[in-house]
Amino acid sequence: MIWALLCAHAVACIAIVALGDRAGRGVFGVAAVPAAITTVWAATLLGGDEAPTAQRQWVEGLDLSFTFAVGPLGALMTVIVSGIGFCVFVYSAGYFSAGTPGIARFGATLLAFSTAMVGLVWADSIWTLFIFWELTSITSFLLVGHKSTSAANRAAARRALLITVSGGLALLAGFVLVADSAGTARLSEMGAVDGTTATVAAVLVMCAAATKSAQVPFHVWLPGAMAAPTPVSAYLHSATMVKAGVLLVALASPVFADVSAWTPLGVAFGGVSVMWGAIGALRQHDAKLILAWGTISQLGLIITLLSVGSGKATFAAISIVTAHAIFKAALFMVVGEIDIRTGTRDIRELSGLHRTMPLTFAVAAVSAASMAGVPPLLGFPAKEAAVEAVLGLSGAEQWSVGVIVIAGSVLTVAYTTRFLLGVFATNGEATEVAAQRTAMTAPLAVLGALSLVGFIFLDQVTKIVKPAATQVNKKSDVYKLIQWPGLTDAFMISAGIVAVGLVVGVVVARRSGSTPRPLGARAVDSLIDAVLIGATRLTGRVQHGSLPVYVATMAATAALAATPFLWAIDTDALYKWDSPAQAVLAGLAVATAITAARVGSRLGAAVGLGGVGLAVSGLFVAHGAPDLALTQLLVETVVVVGFVIGLGHLARQFPPVGDLWRTVRIVVSAMAGIAVAVALAASASNPTGQPPLEAIAQEGVEDGGGNNLVNVILTDIRALDTLGEVVVLLVVAVGILALVRPQKADSAAPALDAEVTL
């Protein structure tokens, strides 16, 4: 069934691409089908003991596989992902108008994200999880930048991509270390690990989760991601993708239970995010940004609770995940609808919507109240569980987590109040509102109602949440969500939170300061720009385009590479010369070489090089190889003639060279020359083998059938090399022809043909 569902997603995706924009809003209908089927399937698993699995090897040697196991947590997450996905697809059909260009691309990408997300929540192998994790980052990038004609949107997409993928790389390293310590890649088989490796892995995994779940300081991509169309914000950036980090922390917490750094790190990330996110939400004027910052805060709360690791805290965390997905998706859809029907999301411009958009207001009020933790809504028992969890802790942990939960909740109530007042209250003249679109209203009404229904059927919710929490933490087994706890300490604290929060919210809502500047986002963008500028500077240094510098670099590198030869020269094994004539000729070669380098005229240098060649031919003669010497002489002659012809087109003198550069060139040349001499002396010092001269002499005559051994070598023993070099010459000839007679399309073809066949 797992494979079938994944295939259904893929088929629907391909169908949308095939249909293209001409299908208009129908693409969302196609996309909704696999989401609906998956939701129903996962709903049947909720609360049950059945955990379907599926496996397919990919690269066995690296333990890469597609391994899925849909446990209670997976089933719950699937219902959230696919269920909200279904609502979002329906909603999108209302959000977009029929003729929107790129609607099919949008639908296909959104469905691809949905596929990646279900793959992620089903994963039982860390590598399966990683694969889908990265896929969600990529699809998120594409969706954030969907309206790509705006430069700001493109920058936001790039920022989101870089932060989440950097997190992905931390995750990659962390997972390699985890697999190394635990000896398996299967999450279900992984025991607790400890030690230095495990600590490094834990830090890496936590950082990865923090990038995905937009925890401070990695949160800066999330507000920017609000550039995406609102269905994307509702789906990816509130209800599902940002929960991937939470899921990762949940799945990893039993593995890192023994790593002492795990809890403090998670509480630190979460705690700072709770506060900073809520403060951000209080400062924004764009309703969507208020919600986005609120998401940062809420995710911080969940991560704090999960990292604490007590049974009650885990239970509370999973409860909040569920409640949050429902109310946050609904709230985003509310904002999207307002945006479409009024043309603005700025709370300073909106007015009187509670009257003009009553249904939307009702949904918003219910969902916002759930977010604030007010009964009788699902958010209330979840928040109660969190407060209970704090009361169950002790010592410093109780204090730190307690401050985070209580202060965070107060601020949550405050920004919720401000949101409701800002968006819906009457504030001057009523905003004009366009006609209702059923496709948008229906899903948000359903999601709004769910917050209430969830509270009414709280026992059923407990039956779903408890096994999911128990999968993460065995000790969560004993807890349940309570509708009406009575006047317990926790309830009193909750009541206090709501009261204080309301006051703060009302006060803040009346003030309208200037819009805060996105400092974090700018910092990231300037970091990226700094990297780009640094790269440009570095490249300017390295890649300056001067051929002489490249040659000098290469010669110097080669000279350095020859350094080890210095230790291998065995002066006893070497002798000076076979005959003194060699010394004279060698001296001549060196002298002409130096002259060639020193003369200022090009012709003089060419003649000097010819002189080097002559001296070398002399060395061949002295060594008893007159035929080689003859060949060399011929080559030298041709080369000098070639130089003389070619030099006619150039200035007579070399261009002048600065002193420093001249010194560098002299030093590098000398180094290279010495290096070659040293290397040859070292190589000849203690050979470990001798050329098979006798065998060549014997077999060359017998099998090769020739007395001139050089000829036998060239034409028989190493005939392949000769063939190759002949082809080299031919190609050079062809190349020269091509350059001498530049082609003019096909008209010049016969001419070239004639030349080549000569």
Partner 1 sequence: MSTLIALIIVGPLLASAIGLVCGSRQRLRDVVTVGALAGATAMAAWLLAEVERNGTVVLRVGGWDPELGVVLVADLFAALILVVALATILVVEVYAIGQRFTAWGANPQLAGPLLLVLTTGVSLAILTGDLFTLFVGFELILVSSYVLLTHQGRRGQIRAGMTYVVMNLFASTLFLFGVAYIYAATGTVNMAYLAERVPELDQGARLGIGLWFLVVFGTKAAIFPLFSWLPDSYPTAPTTITAVFAGLLTKIGVYVIIRFHTLTGMEDLGPVILVVAGVTMLVGVAGALAQGDVKRILSFHIVSQIGYMLMGLGLFSVAGVAGAVLFLVHQIPIKTVLFLVGGLIEEETGTSSLDKAGGLVATAPFVALLFALPALSLAGLPPFSGFVAKLALVDAGISEVATPIVVVSLVASIFTLLSMAKIWLGVFWGSPREDTKPAPTAAHVGGHRLMMSSTALAVAGTLVIAVLAGPLWRMSERAATDLLSPEVYVEQVLQ
* Residue 224 in the binding site for partner 1 (CB under 8 A): no
* Residue 562 in the binding site for partner 1 (CB under 8 A): yes
What does DSSP assign to residue 54? E
CB of 497 to partner 1, least distance (A): 41
Cβ closest to partner 1, residue 549 vs residue 666: 549
Cβ closest to partner 1, residue 434 vs residue 693: 693
- Which of 564, 580, 600, 646 forms a contact with partner 1 (CB under 8 A)? 564
**Residues of this chain, 608-647, that bind partner 1 according to CB under 8 A:** none
- Taken in order 4, 10, 14, 17, is the CA torsion positive or negative? positive
What is d(CA 711, CA 717) in angstroms, rounded to the nearest whole number? 9
- Which of 532, 574, 630, 710 forms a contact with partner 1 (CB under 8 A)? 532
* Residue 8 in the binding site for partner 1 (CB under 8 A): no
**Residues of this chain, 26-85, that bind partner 1 according to CB under 8 A:** 57-62, 64
What is d(CA 147, CA 455) in angstroms, rounded to the nearest whole number? 39
Instruction: Name the phi and psi angles at 63, rounded to 5.
Output: 65, 25
* Residue 699 in the binding site for partner 1 (CB under 8 A): yes
Token reading at 166:
């950097």
CB of 562 to partner 1, least distance (A): 6
What is d(CA 168, CA 253) in angstroms, rounded to the nearest whole number? 18
Residue type present at position 437 = R
**Residues of this chain, 374-393, that bind partner 1 according to CB under 8 A:** none
> Quick one: 464 exposed, middle or buried, by C-beta within 10 A (0-12, 13-18, 19+)?
buried
Q: Helix, strand, or coil here: 145?
A: coil
To which residue do tokens 């130096």 refer?
A: 594
Of 83-91, 100-108, 220-228, 242-250, the segment contacting partner 1 by CB under 8 A is: 100-108
Site string for partner 1, 501-530 (x = CB under 8 A): ---------------------------x--
**Residues of this chain, 400-419, that bind partner 1 according to CB under 8 A:** none
Give Cα separations from 256 to 22, 191, 310, 471 (angstroms). 51, 9, 14, 15
* Residue 735 in the binding site for partner 1 (CB under 8 A): yes
CB of 746 to partner 1, least distance (A): 7
Determine the Cα angle at 583 with ends 577 and 589, to 5°.
130
- Between helix 602-622 and helix 626-647 the angle, nearest 10°, is 180
CB of 661 to partner 1, least distance (A): 17
* Residue 7 in the binding site for partner 1 (CB under 8 A): no
Instruction: Dump the DSSP string for 398-446.
Output: HHHHHHHHHHHHHHHHHHHHHHHHHHHS--SSPPP-----HHHHHHHHH
- Answer for the pair 386, 405: CB distance below 8 angstroms, yes or no: yes
Count of other CB atoms within 10 angstroms of residue 234: 32
Q: Helix, strand, or coil here: 57?
A: strand
Instruction: Dump the DSSP string for 181-246.
Output: HHS-SBGGG-----SHHHHHHHHHHHHHHHHHTT-TTGGGHHHHHTTS-HHHHHIIIIISHHHHHH
CB of 149 to partner 1, least distance (A): 5
CB of 618 to partner 1, least distance (A): 19
What is d(CA 83, CA 459) in angstroms, rounded to the nearest whole number? 20
Cβ closest to partner 1, residue 496 vs residue 534: 534
Cβ closest to partner 1, residue 607 vs residue 717: 717
What does DSSP assign to residue 515? P
Site string for partner 1, 469-488 (x = CB under 8 A): --------------------
Give Cα separations from 687 to 306, 378, 563, 645 (angstroms). 68, 85, 18, 45
- Which of 4, 14, 523, 738 forms a contact with partner 1 (CB under 8 A)? 738
Q: List own/partner pairs for 511-518 with CB under 8 A and 24 or more apart.
A: 512/285, 512/348, 513/283, 515/283, 515/284, 515/285, 515/286, 516/280, 516/283, 516/284, 518/220, 518/223, 518/224
- Which of 18, 574, 650, 749 forms a contact with partner 1 (CB under 8 A)? 749
CB of 144 to partner 1, least distance (A): 11
CB of 168 to partner 1, least distance (A): 8
* Residue 590 in the binding site for partner 1 (CB under 8 A): no
- Which of 191, 343, 540, 642 forms a contact with partner 1 (CB under 8 A)? 540
**Residues of this chain, 106-135, that bind partner 1 according to CB under 8 A:** 127, 130-131, 134-135
* Residue 719 in the binding site for partner 1 (CB under 8 A): yes
Site string for partner 1, 179-208 (x = CB under 8 A): -x----------------------------
Residue type present at position 489 = D
* Residue 571 in the binding site for partner 1 (CB under 8 A): no
**Residues of this chain, 541-560, that bind partner 1 according to CB under 8 A:** 542-543, 545, 547, 550-551, 553-555, 557-558
CB of 612 to partner 1, least distance (A): 14
- Answer for the pair 416, 368: CB distance below 8 angstroms, yes or no: yes
What is d(CA 751, CA 742) in angstroms, rounded to the nearest whole number? 11
Q: How many residues bind partner 1 (CB under 8 A)?
A: 109
CB of 240 to partner 1, least distance (A): 19
Cβ closest to partner 1, residue 2 vs residue 338: 2
- Which of 430, 568, 594, 674 forms a contact with partner 1 (CB under 8 A)? 568
CB of 342 to partner 1, least distance (A): 28
Cβ closest to partner 1, residue 507 vs residue 731: 731
CB of 476 to partner 1, least distance (A): 32
Cβ closest to partner 1, residue 181 vs residue 360: 181
* Residue 671 in the binding site for partner 1 (CB under 8 A): no
CB of 647 to partner 1, least distance (A): 16
Q: Helix, strand, or coil here: 555?
A: helix
* Residue 531 in the binding site for partner 1 (CB under 8 A): yes
What is d(CA 434, CA 544) in angstroms, rounded to the nearest whole number? 60
- Which of 658, 688, 702, 705 forms a contact with partner 1 (CB under 8 A)? 688
* Residue 686 in the binding site for partner 1 (CB under 8 A): yes
- Answer for the pair 501, 409: CB distance below 8 angstroms, yes or no: yes
Cβ within 8 Å of residue 6, ≥6 positions away? 115, 118, 119
- Answer for the pair 595, 611: CB distance below 8 angstroms, yes or no: yes
What is d(CA 758, CA 753) in angstroms, rounded to the nearest whole number? 9
Count of residues in the chain = 758
**Residues of this chain, 148-177, that bind partner 1 according to CB under 8 A:** 148-149, 151, 154, 157-158, 161-162, 165-166, 168-169, 172-173, 176-177
CB of 646 to partner 1, least distance (A): 13
- Answer for the pair 618, 588: CB distance below 8 angstroms, yes or no: yes
